Structure 1
Amino acid sequence: MPDLLIDDTENVRTLTLNRPDSLNSLTSALKEELRDALRAAATDDSVRAVVLTGSGKAFCAGQDLKEHVELLGSGDEAPFRTVEEHYNPIVTAITTMPKPVIAAVNGTAAGAGASLAYASDLRIAAASAKFVLSFGNIGLSADSGASFTLPRLIGYGRAMEMMLLGKPVDAARALEIGMVTEVVADDSLARTATGLAARLAAGPTTGYGRIKESMRTAAGADLQASLEVEHQIQNELGETSDHREAVEAFVTKRNPKFTGH
């Protein structure tokens, strides 16, 4: 079986990490596949929403440490290039994707695996899901964008606690502190996540992408810069067919039919 499963259904592309015997830990090969698949989804007009999930009992356990140790022992330079070549491009592909990305967290999300969920736009968690950042326990710092994304979800203090102590956060606590969007029964996760993705895929895709752009800009800009970006984006979206369709549908009291343009 391939390490990454790709399924297209009604404008929703589902990417499933598929190394269940290794808790979907990330080898160099899987990281490259995921990076390339995310980039392909971003440029495919038939894809209007993306779901990222894992097979088996885990979402993603992060870096495959067996491969990591073997590479370090052999003197291979690959472990020192993986952040630049794999993790940073993966997170960039998720956050700059001009369409919504939903993480369906079906079990443990650890290290870089948790970071993938944090980088996503929405996170639906199974009741059995848990999040843990163990970078500090192995003498490393955060990667895959966690130092940026996690504090913006749950606040600086809680993020620092997770980073330093490596204490797992279960699904109920994750919902309470705003780490996830929704918690559902394990057997409802796939249905809930794909249903939400289908709803977004039927919406004004271009507008969703520009919302992501404005939010991403505002996260690192002052008010004036944020206002300027909002102004530019609103003017451009005002010319889209989806905006015109939405306004006409509102006036004529019918449901809009969006094309994503």
Structure 2
Amino acid sequence: MELTAFKFSIENHVARITLAQGERGNPFDLAFCSDFNKIATECDNNRDVRAVIIDAEGKYFSVGGDLKSLATGTQEASSHFVKAATSTLHMGISRLARMDAPVIFKTDALVAGGAVALASGADFVLAGPNAKFYAAFAGIGFSCDSGSSYYLPRRVGLRRAFSFFSRNEMWSAEQALDYGLVSEIHSSEELEDKSAALANELASGPTYTFGKLKNLFLETFQTPLETQLEMEARALTDCTRTQDTWSAVQAVANKKKAVFEYK
């Protein structure tokens, strides 16, 4: 896979997605959006991937949108740029959300604009003490993208999410933890080890079941109770049809440790 804006690897069932334009602040340009969709499609399609870590190189995790590209050329060209960029980026975000493998977002730096959406869309966010989360969009007269309006209200509540974007707020790691965006805070020195340990824990777990849980939680705020109950029943039934779940039931019933192989 040829990539411009990212580094990508898979080791011991853990995929690592690294923003790799640190010298530019890892902006969301066309190459970024195209690469992200390629990587997300690979993670979704490759059954060797059972957990994902998203991290970044450079001083910033990401400065958000590529303002230089937006400001170059005509107003019409900028409009076309936004539609072209979001068409691929949003497809990738959807695939990461719908795939079985859980996603861990790791940062100890500034996370701005669309990168906040990547954080809020992840299943776990591990932050260092230097992490900051900056809305950015309203500062240039933009509404939000990348799933921000879907995920952030679910993590922190509708009123707080609207305040974050409309008032162009910046949250510290501690605030983001208190509000519900961040899962855990670790020292800068421990952050990589803690993220890797969590990824390895998840990668050895019931990956198919994680996928069922992710999709149930995606639907929960817009689905009537009876529909959600039926979806839960169907998800459980689907799990029982997998060898992983059946083997785990047999193992635990016989007082042995369950081993999950994603089959």
TM-score between the two structures when normalised by the length of structure 1: 0.94
Matched, 1:7 2:9: yes
- Mapped to 2, the partners of 1:34 and 1:224 lie a distance apart of 36
Matched residue, 1:38: 40
Query: Which of the residues 70, 73, 90 maps onto 2:72?
Result: 70
Query: Which of the residues 202, 205, 220 maps onto 1:203?
Result: 205
Unaligned runs of 5+ in 1: none
Equivalent residues of 1:203, 1:258 under 8 A apart: yes
Query: Which of the residues 148, 151, 175 maps onto 1:149?
Result: 151
Per-residue CA deviation, residues 150-183 of structure 1 (Å, 9 max, x unaligned), is 0110111111110111121000111111111101
User: Shift of residue 106 of structure 1?
Assistant: 2.8
SS in 1 for 2:196: helix
User: Shift of residue 71 of structure 1?
Assistant: 4.8
Matched residue, 1:232: 234
Matched residue, 1:59: 61
- Mapped to 2, the partners of 1:230 and 1:17 lie a distance apart of 36
- Mapped to 2, the partners of 1:127 and 1:72 lie a distance apart of 40
Paired residue total: 261
Matched residue, 1:96: 98
- Mapped to 2, the partners of 1:231 and 1:201 lie a distance apart of 25
RMSD over aligned Cα atoms: 1.7
What letter matches 1:108 in structure 2?
L
- Mapped to 1, the partners of 2:104 and 2:257 lie a distance apart of 24
SS in 1 for 2:185: strand
User: Shift of residue 252 of structure 1?
Assistant: 2.2
Query: Which of the residues 125, 150, 172 maps onto 2:174?
Result: 172
Query: Which of the residues 225, 235, 250 maps onto 2:252?
Result: 250
Equivalent residues of 2:110, 2:131 under 8 A apart: yes
SS in 2 for 1:16: strand
- Mapped to 1, the partners of 2:210 and 2:78 lie a distance apart of 42
- Identity over aligned pairs, percent: 27
- Mapped to 1, the partners of 2:76 and 2:151 lie a distance apart of 34
SS in 2 for 1:221: coil
Matched residue, 1:21: 23
What letter matches 2:142 in structure 1?
L
SS in 1 for 2:190: helix
- Mapped to 2, the partners of 1:72 and 1:110 lie a distance apart of 25
- Mapped to 1, the partners of 2:68 and 2:81 lie a distance apart of 12
SS in 2 for 1:52: strand
Matched, 1:116 2:94: no
Mean alpha-carbon deviation: is it higher for 102-111 or for 79-88? 79-88
Matched residue, 1:132: 134
- Mapped to 2, the partners of 1:30 and 1:71 lie a distance apart of 20
- Mapped to 1, the partners of 2:64 and 2:252 lie a distance apart of 46
User: Shift of residue 114 of structure 1?
Assistant: 0.7
Per-residue CA deviation, residues 59-98 of structure 1 (Å, 9 max, x unaligned), is 2221111122125468365323135413321221221122
Equivalent residues of 2:40, 2:93 under 8 A apart: no
- Mapped to 2, the partners of 1:71 and 1:239 lie a distance apart of 56
Unaligned runs of 5+ in 2: none
- Mapped to 2, the partners of 1:89 and 1:171 lie a distance apart of 28
Equivalent residues of 1:54, 1:106 under 8 A apart: no
- Mapped to 2, the partners of 1:77 and 1:131 lie a distance apart of 26
Equivalent residues of 1:57, 1:106 under 8 A apart: no
User: Shift of residue 26 of structure 1?
Assistant: 1.5
Equivalent residues of 2:50, 2:102 under 8 A apart: yes
SS in 2 for 1:186: coil
Equivalent residues of 1:25, 1:62 under 8 A apart: yes
Per-residue CA deviation, residues 181-234 of structure 1 (Å, 9 max, x unaligned), is 101111222221121111111111000011111111213211111111111111
SS in 2 for 1:102: strand
- Mapped to 2, the partners of 1:114 and 1:249 lie a distance apart of 41
